[in-house]
Structure 1
Amino acid sequence: MTTKQYDYVIVGAGLFGATFAYQARKAGKKCLVIDKRAHIGGNIYCKDVDGINVHYYGAHIFHTNDRSIWNFVNSFVEFNRYTNSPLANHEGKLYNLPFNMNTFYQLWGVTTPEEAQARIQQQIAELNITEPRNLEEQALKLVGTDIYEKLIKGYTEKQWGRKATELPAFIIKRLPVRFTYDNNYFNDKYQGIPVGGFNKLSEGLLEGIEVRLDTDFFGDPEYFRGLGEKLVYTGALDEYYNYRFGALEYRSLRFEHKHLEIENYQGNAVVNYTEAHIPYTRIIEHKHFEFGTQKHTVITYEYPATWEKGMEPYYPLNDEMNNKRFKQYSNLAEEEENVIFGGRLAEYRYYDMHQVIGSALVKARDELQLPRLENRA
């Protein structure tokens, strides 16, 4: 019987693959991690541009209520106190997000929660929507006309590439509305950015583990399967099965990065542009994630895009057709021996960073018979 060179060959050096590899190495297993990109970290990769850590694949802010996961990531790198407080720009006027008393004051000049609640409820009552048939009606039933028209409609239609009346209602199951003067976007107890950028986290997870970059699993899948006792696959599930049931659909993104010889462009890390006629959804100014004091700045325009094969898949279109198709693929995956599937692409779901790490820790714990992380808050 031939002994394999590795216990695990891990396809993908993003958060799922890196977390699984870290746990496996800690358990005494030998791992090989491969990634088709020229860097580790997947979509949390940061590129150093003149001393500014540019979130190269869009803004990433770590947040969680799970103290065990917060302690886990802080064991690799210290996190700063960054609080996500985005702004929305509509026709040149700025509004705070998420929807809170600051937003309602900016919209209507109201100063008390009672006034704001009455304004929203009056608008909802006038619409007389009982069973929302689409996203537009669902949003209107939740927040009324003004918030929807100025802060939701245009942004959402750009993001999904369809009219809000053509999108299913379930996409917006709820909208965060706060009747306090609180601009913190997340409700989670823990939040921040790694001091020195997210690459510090990826490097910590993969320290001491063999990594091969610019290496495409699909260039020779049988070779890579043959290297290890088991395969950990974090790529697109439909691609793994050569699109047997058809391609799963996504929305993609395109980024335009600009270096500016000014100290401060917009005064905030994230500003959303909510009008439909503006082609980008937001502008990111990266230095503000780490309270940068550089004499220059880097901004990124984020454009939504129709996904096609070969493009990076970002947001799964979890409608009825795609979920049915994914179920066909996941049924095949369940029958696989010696293959572990995980991550946002293999599971065809939108994951926040803490959820990816949590999923990888659970898969590793079950596979390696490790103890559960403690101090769960």
Structure 2
Amino acid sequence: MKKYDYVLVGSGLYSGVFAYLARKKGKKCLVVEKRSHIGGNIYCEEKDGINVHSYGAHIFHTSNKEVWKFVNELVEFNRYTNSPVANYKGEIYNMPFNMNTFSKMWNVATPAEAKAKIEEQKASVKGEPKNLEEQAISLVGTDIYEKLVKGYTEKQWGRDCKELPAFIIKRLPVRFTYDNNYFNDLYQGIPMGGYNVIIEKLFEGCDMEFNVDYLENREHYDSLGEKTVYTGMIDAFYQYQLGKLEYRSLRFETETLDMENYQGVAVVNYTDRETPYTRIIEHKHFEFGTQPKTVITREYSVAWEEGMEPYYPVNDERNQELYKQYASLAEKESSVIFGGRLGEYKYYDMDKVIESAMKVAKQEFS
């Protein structure tokens, strides 16, 4: 008999939820983590009494009551509501596009006036949209596209909107109400005390090893556990034998400022092409902080290269096709569970990661 029931590769949210449910069933778990800390991309670092989201802003939101109940049993959530603003060359607009945005953009006051303006501008796209630019204009018109979509999207993908496929933007949230709440979900908030509180609870009772690359020591770790829960890159697991999947990555510049309040909101998107970063995060606003100092992070979207942290799967046809081939190899594995953003090559919100891990755990322990 092996020493552990499960060897969990990676210590992000998927692994954490699985480990927590496994421990409840009396299973022994070993967690193998490449980094020097647990938590994956939701890890927070404390600076001047502020919980800094080390790998980009994470705002918890869900309409799944079971998931909301699960996370609230671990930690209490605050009432943070995501209401980002867009900065276009110094002009400030509310996000998502709503009556506050339209009123500022066109000096209109009613939903009917805003709708008429958008309809008039949408007419410039004839027939089926051929690329992302045409798709976006067919959804929100030219003014909103030019000021609030184009530059931001091009920075995110590192390509011109005319070169990007239309299906990347299936919809753009447009609201004809004066409501700045970004999400439509029933529940949202930030864990009080930051995300580390949740992560520590999820991995309680597990053995942990840090600064270890599972793929370089695969035989050793496979010999320790009955099953492996793998949350790393699926193509790396198979030594890229079918080819490499593509990702976008992020680069962060974080600094502490000797002032109480830098931008008055947690998230400001910079939507012109000339500003090199996509957004600035001011972390204290996630938890209504009143500290004398503030910490900001500039976020840059960059092309991913091997050795960098992969953040976003590139959701185009070539990559989806390649992933399907890897997924069919994965289905044949009887002692490996693939999960999470990298294991399933999927852009996942946190609640969906939890949902997915709960579903797999239920099948596993039923």
Q: Which TM-score band applies after superposition, normalised by the shorter structure?
A: over 0.9
Report the equivalent of 2:96.
Answer: 98
Partner of 2:150: 153
Q: Which moved more, 1:207-216 or 1:146-155?
A: 207-216
Partner Cα distance (1:16, 1:56) in 2: 18
Aligned to 1:84: 82
Paired position in structure 2 for 1:190 = 187
Give the 3-state SS of the residue equivalent to 1:364 in structure 2.
helix
Trace 1:142-221 onto structure 2 (pairs within 5 A). Answer: 142-221=139-218
Q: 1:229 aligns with which of 213, 219, 226?
A: 226
The corresponding residue for 1:61 is: 59
Q: Distance in 2 between matches of 1:324 and 1:100?
A: 36
Aligned to 1:8, the other structure's residue is in SS state strand
Which residue of structure 1 aligns with residue 321 of structure 2? 324
Other-structure match for 2:349: 352
Who is 1:14 aligned against? 12
TM-score, normalising length: structure 2? 0.99
Q: Compute the TM-score of the two structures, normalised by the length of structure 1.
A: 0.96
Secondary structure of the structure 1 residue equivalent to 2:71: helix
Flag as ranges the 4+ runs of structure 1 deviating above 6 A: none
What SS is found at the alignment partner of 1:276?
A: coil
CA contact (8 A) 2:125 2:137 kept: no
Residues 248 and 312, structure 2, Cα contact 8 Å, conserved in 1: yes
Q: CA RMSD in A?
A: 0.7
* Residue equivalent to 1:372: none
String of CA shifts for 1:200-255, please: whole Å, max 9, x gaps. 11011111211212121022111001100011101000000011111100110000
Instruction: Name the aligned partner's letter for residue 101 of structure 1.
Output: M
Quick one: which of 331, 334, 342 aligns to 1:334?
331
Aligned residues: 366
> Could you list the per-position Cα deviations for residues 174-197 of structure 1 after superposition, in whole angstroms to 9, with x for gaps in the alignment?
010000000000000000000000
Match among 110, 113, 122 for residue 111 of structure 2: 113
Instruction: Provide the rounded CA distance (Å) in 1 between the counterparts of 2:341 and 2:70.
Output: 20
Unaligned runs of 5+ in 1: 370-377
* One-letter amino acid of the structure 2 residue matched with residue 303 of structure 1: Y
Counterpart for residue 252 of structure 2: 255
Cα distance between partner residues in 1 of 2:315 and 2:220: 33
Identity of aligned residues (%): 66
- The CA distance in 2 between the partners of 1:128 and 1:152, in whole Å, is 16
In the alignment, structure 2 segments of 5+ residues that lack a partner are: none
Other-structure match for 1:365: 362
**How far did residue 363 of structure 1 move?**
0.5
